[in-house]
Amino acid sequence: MALADYKYKDVIHRCFRCGYCKFPSNWMEVNNCPAYARFRLESYSTGGRLWLIRAWLNDEIEWTDHLAQIVYSCAACKNCVEQCPYRFHDDIVDMIIAARSEMVERGSIPSVVKEFLENIQRQGNPYGNARSKRGEWVEGMGIKQYEGQEYLYYVGCVGSYDTRAKETARTLGEVLLKAGVSFGVMGNDENCDGNEVSKLGEESLFQSLAEDNIQQFKDLGVEKIVALSPHSYNAIKNDYPMFNGSFEVFHYTQLLRDLIKGGRLDISSGFDARVTYHDPCFLGRWNKEYEAPRQVLNAIPGVELVEMERSREGALCCGGGGGNFYTDFLGGSEDSPARIRIREACATGASIVATACPNCMTMLEDAVKAEGLEESIKVKDISEIVAEACLAKRAD
Amino acid sequence: MDIVVAIKQVPDTSEAVDVVEIDASGRDINKEALVSKINDWDEYALEEAVQLKQKLGGTVTAVTVGASEWDDILRRALAMGADRAIRIDEDAASMDSNTVAKILTAVIIHLPYDLVIFGAQSEDFGSGQLGCMVAEMLDIPHATLVVSLQMDEGEVRVSRELEGGALELYTLKLPALLTIQTGINRPRYVSFASIKKAREKELKVISLNELGLSRDALTPLVILEKLELTPTGKKAELISGSAEETAGKLAMILNDSGVI
Amino acid sequence: MDSIYKALVEIVGEDHASTEQEELYIHSRSLGTVEPHQPDYVVAPRTTEEVQQIVKLANREKIPVVPLGGGLSLTGLVMPLRGGIVLDMKRMDTIIEVNEKARYVIVEAGVSQGKLISCLERYHPNLMHSEPMAPAQATIAGNVMIHGQGDLAQPYGFNSDMVNGLEVVLPTGEVCKIGSCSVSPYWFTAHPLPDLGLFLGWFGTTGIITKLSLRLYPCKKINGVDRFLVEDAELIPEILLKITHTEMVGDLVSSIQGLPLAVRGIHIITININGDSEKEIEFKRQLIREDILGEYIRNGDCGFMGTTPDLRTGQQRPTITTVADIKRGGGFEYVGAILPVDTYPECCREGEAISSRHDIIYTLGGRVIGRSHAMMFFWSYAFNRADPESVRQAREALHESDELALKLGGVPWKPSVYGQKLIMEKMEPNTLELMRKIKELLDPNGIMNPGNWEVM
């Protein structure tokens, strides 16, 4: 594709390289772009990436592995969208995804991205684990297959297969059972929601996944979906309607907030800790949901909620989006965004950093280990904090 | 430059090792729970062929012997850049290498070719024989385990991979047959859209009869008797001493356990 | 080539050194109109020691070194004109100390404007530095090093006049401290030591700033902005002179632009009035309006545009970046020149003519420095980066503006190589010779940002 065929050809040259895309809303650091944080080279900032994409499409530079890595190192966190002062700021991440689509069509993508996509094509998850194991997390819990209950509890790939994230999936299941919510799961029939596939530029695969999922949901009579992962939440809520799949989608923190408000969850046992909350990008900046998770935490007796200096629309991404929880372009350094984020969490004096996303959970857990801060801070999913607040007995 | 690439489909057992079970016949694995994919080595072979075509012009024809499900890998080959595909409609699962080689030869002999390319071996049975057999049947020179190649006027220069990083260099006169080792290149990603688009390219299905062959007349030279899973080991023993001592101890263990 | 890359990797680590096409491309391109020049290496050091090692290596191998801050001067001062190593200083971005009692801050060279603004607003709200109009990514050291001006220009002068001290790496690799920090733990004054001001305004040709101490000033709670409209440019210099006499205002800028049409042809004097209370603001405002501007209002040719007292936030959507997109082209460069204030009318007249000749909507103005001691007058030219003709027109307009500035008795500020040459041609021979001597003394191998201040 020459520049002339690129969807954003009239806009991509207008990036002034002012650099606001690197900052959070309060300007406190210059490393709020996860890829720029990791490498601190201009080519990895959004502005640099856009200039390189234009240069490549305009035949000024050739495709190289390094270019592909730069283009794929973007975690799609939308900090740049939030901070760019231009009218086309909403399109910035889409410009990068469009460049990825071009690389996908040419077949020239990094090997790990190829693996990611092929694993999904074959086994319905990026890890390439057997489909027949997707529903294993449910073992021994008394959670039923979806057959017309009020909610479909949609878990997603990370929650179904990642060891740590599976615990989150189970705990949320426990909490929903405890609250008497009518729900079912799809078990081995669940397939990848495709959110990361879309961000990686494989549009046709995403469409195929979306259409298959939509058909499956419709055949089962699904109307309401509660998602464990903000990534699933984002895809099903915002992208599936484009393929005639309209469902009422909730992120689980929104449901928990309503259950607590409605008195259907007894959290009186409380949870005594100073907690800081890490905004997941696909719940926060992508979907503007900053309050529901905080409302849940604030409702729990004993929780002292403190904010990191960069929070809400200024939050630092854990670096796990855009497939990076698997492709790992941003790992391997103390400048990895997840490690920076954990250090920030510790600086609040909190003993717990609360997450609402299985990708964030895995990235931050690994970061705690890499930083050697296991004694100082623990990563807990909001569902796990809620579970302790309603299942544990207070010692009197 | 006309190239023929022979490929096969295999079950994906990469992350699913404990899902592998022997089936009722005792001579194959249960494939119901498994997804199929193109043989890893063949993907490198196809990529090499397509890259050669992109550099030097010409055609790439992908060939396979298999049942209708194997159309998938041919579509993938077409999406990668092959110009046309041919499937001989026979279930190759129960055939020995010699039989498959005869069938492939019967097809290839009618195609224009400067180069015939195979993967070095397959992920399922791993015999590594097919390419060599076909080369002999076509009466053309061949080289196996090729890790790099370069075309020249009427010949191809190849490196073969030996142990410990050592390479052998050969020049073969065309037409020639090569079997390709993994790592020779970086196979391109094949997008969902390009597989759909590949439906516009020619995929021909032919029967054994059309080749003048019949299943009955193709007697296998090798018959697979039984397939077993390796027993999961419970014990690991470290044998120490000089080379002579350890060799002696090992021989004794093998003898006592009935292996030799 | 390869051995040098290996050496650089050993100094800064693999992740922060590159010879790849992509990094070289990015650093070969200016944000302004200067033509591309490709470097050979890009490195991002973290410590002064790493900078030293790189400079020593460059000396050994006779490779140019081009220090880079935010890259936002726009006049191509960080273009690797002779190739070599681009030294991205932005990883060195620690705010070392804020001394509230002596009102100064010590920063590493790569600290961004945004980071300092944010730090002061959150932790030292009574203190501010002179914040330039550049985007938040501009660095403190870069701005100071080009003699930048900020929103304290009128009361306190150039940002380079607010420097208490420097740590520099000399072109031959030694680390040197300038100012009180060379004899004391406090970085609070540049005087009274012998003047070693050999690094500001030199564009890195005499050494690399690695740390600096910047004076901080009282930050008031409320920032009021008045806009005074004047049709006759000839009145502007005397109005500005009178306003500065009051010693009651902060940033003072007079500007005129072709768009929006509602204000075309009208000079807008932006008067910043700061105070800790409404009472203070009102007092100052009254003084300006009645005592100073009253006569002009009564004569009928001037008037006020609305007033907006807002809390000082400093984080409104940036205006400079949006100005850059006027041609929907993402490109923008300006000639800024330091000129006597009374040249304002002619600067505007000629500026409109140059803009019109090059098919660019005029955007002109002057920021007062000191008590009308001087102004920084800017001729801004937006261009479409994707259209080579548009770039060429802007470049020509910029060259003409450089020439105009000198003709009017001024000096182009942070001049591009073109402007530098014009200045040097006009310069007193002994002064020029002194510049050459200093460069030769400090940089015998000529490795520091070559092509700049190149005395023939």
Residue B258: what pLDDT?
Answer: 72
* Selection from B118, C113, C17, B221 nearest residue A18 by Cα: C113
User: Any chain A CB within 8 A of the CB of C365?
Assistant: no
Domain ranges of chain B: 2-211
Domain count, chain A: 3
Residue B236: predicted pLDDT: 73
Q: Is B150 on the interface with A (CB under 8 A)?
A: no
A-facing residues of C in 392-421 (CB < 8 A) are: none
Nearest CA in chain A to B185: A111
Domain boundary among A63, A94, A109: A109
Q: What is the pLDDT of residue B33?
A: 77
Give the nearest partner residue to A19 out of C26, C27, C136, using CB atoms.
Answer: C136
CA–CA separation, C298 and C314 (whole Å): 34
Q: Which residue of A has its CA nearest to C327?
A: A14
Q: Can you give the pLDDT at residue C310? A: 47
What pLDDT sits at residue B16?
61
Q: Are residues A311 and A210 in the same domain?
A: no
Q: What is the pLDDT of residue C421?
A: 97
Strand partners, C303: C229
Q: What is the mean pLDDT of residues C266-286?
A: 94
Confidence of residue C314 (pLDDT cuts 50, 70, 90): very low
pTM of structure? 0.93
**Is B15 within 8 Å of A131 when comparing Cβ atoms?**
no
CATH label of the domain that carries residue A308: 3.40.50
- Is residue A208 situated within a structural domain? yes
Q: Is A17 in the same domain as A97?
A: yes
The verdict on A254 and A273 lying in the same domain is: no
Taking the C-alpha atoms of C397, C402, C408 and C414 in order, what is their torsion angle to the nearest 10 degrees?
130
User: Do B and C touch (≥3 CB pairs < 8 Å)?
Assistant: no
> At which residue do the structure tokens 């940036």 appear?
C318
Burial of B260 (0-12, 13-18, 19+ CB in 10 A): exposed
Indicate where chain C has its CATH 3.40.462.10 domain(s): 321-415
Residue A102 touches chain B, beta carbons under 8 Å:
no
Please check the confidence at residue C216 and state whether its pLDDT lies above 80: yes
Considering CB atoms only, which of B35, B37, B191 is closest to A105? Answer: B191
Instruction: Select the residue of C15, C27, C115 nearest A29 (Cβ to Cβ).
Output: C115
Fold of C321-415: Vanillyl-alcohol Oxidase; Chain A, domain 3 (3.40.462)
Please say if the pLDDT value at position A395 is more than 90.
Answer: no
- Write the CATH number for A252: 3.40.50.1860
Give B 12-31 residues with CB within 8 A of chain A: 12, 14-16, 19
Write down the pLDDT at residue A392.
56
Q: Give the pLDDT band of residue B152 (cuts 50, 70, 90).
A: very high
Residue C170 — very low, low, confident or very high, per pLDDT cuts 50/70/90? very high
Residue C312: pLDDT above 70? no
pLDDT at position C308: 55
> Are A122 and B35 an interchain contact pair (Cβ–Cβ within 8 Å)?
yes
CATH numeric code, C92-218? 3.30.465.10
Any domain includes A296: yes
Assign domain C3-90 one CATH number from 3.30.43.10, 3.50.50.60, 3.30.300.30, 3.30.470.20. 3.30.43.10
What pLDDT does residue C323 have? 65
Look at residue C1 and tell me whether its pLDDT is greater than 60: no
Q: Which residues of A touch C331 (CB under 8 A)?
A: 16
CB contact under 8 A, C21 and A64: yes
Closest residue, chain A, to C32 (C-alpha): A16
Are A148 and A251 within one domain? yes
HEC readout, A167-214:
HHHHHHHHHHHHCCCCEEECHHHCCCCCHHHHHCCCHHHHHHHHHHHH
Q: Where, residue-wise, is CATH 3.30.70 in chain C?
A: 222-304
pLDDT of residue B245: 80
Distances (CA, A) of A195 to A8, A198, B22: 22, 5, 37
Chain B residues with beta carbon closer than 8 angstroms to that of A107: 80, 188-191, 194
C313 pLDDT exceeds 50? no
Per-residue model confidence (pLDDT) at position A282: 98
Residue A114 lies in a domain: no
Non-local CB neighbours of B109 within 8 Å, separated by 6+ positions:
B138
The tokens for B124 are 């399922």
Last residue of a domain, one of A238, A258, A278: A258
Reported confidence tier of residue C320, pLDDT bands at 50, 70, 90: low
Same domain, A275 and A338: yes
pLDDT averaged over every residue in chain A:
96
Regarding whether A167 and A143 lie in a shared domain, the answer is yes
CA–CA distance, C178 with A334 (Å, rounded to integer): 33
Test mutation, C26, C87, C333, chain A, max A CBs within 10 A: C26
The answer to whether residue A45 sits within a structural domain is yes
State what percent of residues in chain A have pLDDT above 90.
95
Overall fold of domain B2-211: Rossmann fold (3.40.50)
A247 and A147 belong to one structural domain: yes
- Kindly report, as residue ranges, where domains of CATH 3.30.43.10 are found in chain C: 3-90
Question: What digits encode the pLDDT tens for the residues C9-29?
Answer: 999 999 999 999 999 999 999
Residue C345 corresponds to which amino acid? P
Q: Determine whether domain C222-304 maps to CATH 2.120.10.
A: no
* Residue-wise pLDDT tens digits, C217-262: 999 999 999 999 999 999 999 999 999 999 999 999 999 999 888 8
How far is residue C30's CA from residue C52's CA, in Å, rounded to a whole number? Answer: 26
Determine the average pLDDT of the residues in A114-128: 94
Q: How many Å apart are CA B142 and CA B115, to the nearest integer? A: 10
Residue A315 has pLDDT above 90, yes or no: yes
Per the structure block, which two tokens stand in for A152? Answer: 């479909």
Q: What is the largest CA-CA distance in chain B?
A: 65
Banded pLDDT at C324 (limits 50, 70, 90): low
Is A29 within 8 Å of chain C by CB?
A: yes
Query: What average pLDDT is seen over chain B?
Result: 91
Q: Which residues of A touch C31 (CB under 8 A)?
A: 16-17
A141 touches chain B (CB under 8 A): no
- Whose structure tokens read 């008797």? B225
Compare all CA atoms of chain A with the CA of B15 and give the residue at the minimum distance: A129
Q: Which residue of B has its CA nearest to A129?
A: B15
User: What residues does B61 pair with on adjacent strands?
Assistant: B4, B84
Confidence of residue A248 (pLDDT cuts 50, 70, 90): very high
- Any idea how long chain B is? 260
Residues of A whose CB is below 8 A from C71:
17, 42
Q: Do A253 and A270 lie in a common domain?
A: no
- C273 pLDDT tier (thresholds 50, 70, 90): very high
Instruction: Give the distance from CA C69 to its chain's centroid.
Output: 11
Averaged pLDDT of chain C: 93
Instruction: Calculate what percentage of chain C has a pLDDT beyond 70.
Output: 95
B196 touches chain A (CB under 8 A): yes
A51 contact C CB<8A: yes
Residue A391 has pLDDT above 70, yes or no: yes
The answer to whether the Cβ–Cβ distance between B15 and A130 falls below 8 Å is yes
B17 band by pLDDT with thresholds 50, 70 and 90: low
pLDDT in the model for residue C354: 97
Last residue of a domain, one of A258, A278, A312: A258
* Pick from A105, A114, A204: CB nearest B196: A204
pLDDT-derived band at B20, boundaries 50, 70, 90 = confident
Tell me whether residue A239 is in a domain. yes
Range of the domain at A237: 135-258
Contacts of A62 in chain C (CB under 8 A): 21
CB atoms B188 and A108 under 8 Å: yes
CB of A205 within 8 Å of a chain B CB? The answer is yes
Q: Does B185 touch chain A if contact means CB atoms closer than 8 Å?
A: no
Cα A146 from Cα A182, distance rounded (Å): 10
- With respect to residue A395, please indicate whether it lies within any of the assigned structural domains: no
Q: What chains are in contact with B, requiring at least 3 Cβ pairs below 8 Å?
A: A
Q: Kindly state the average pLDDT of the residues A23-41.
A: 97
Q: Per residue, what are the HEC states of chain B?
A: CEEEEECCEEECCCCCHHHCCECCCCCCECCCCCCEEECHHHHHHHHHHHHHHHHHCCEEEEEEEECHHHHHHHHHHHHHCCCEEEEEECCHHHCCHHHHHHHHHHHHCCCCCCEEEEECCCCCCCCCCHHHHHHHHHCCCEEEEEEEEEEECCEEEEEEECHHHCEEEEEEECCEEEEECCCCCCCCCCCHHHHHHHHHCEEEEECCHHHCCCCCCCCCCCCCCCCCCCCCCCCCCCCCCCHHHHHHHHHHHHHHCCCC
Do A104 and B37 count as a contact with CB atoms less than 8 A apart?
A: no
Residue A276: what pLDDT? 98
Report the share of chain B in percent with pLDDT over 70. Answer: 98
**What is the tens place of the pLDDT at every residue in A316-369?**
999 999 999 999 999 999 999 999 999 999 999 999 999 999 999 999 999 999
Query: Which residues in chain A touch residue B192, judged by CB atoms under 8 angstroms apart?
Result: 121, 202, 204-205, 207-208
Q: What is the ipTM of this complex?
A: 0.95
Residue C226 contacts by C-beta under 8 Å, 6 or more apart in sequence? C270, C271, C273, C285, C288, C289, C304, C307
Q: Which residue of C has its CA nearest to A84?
A: C317
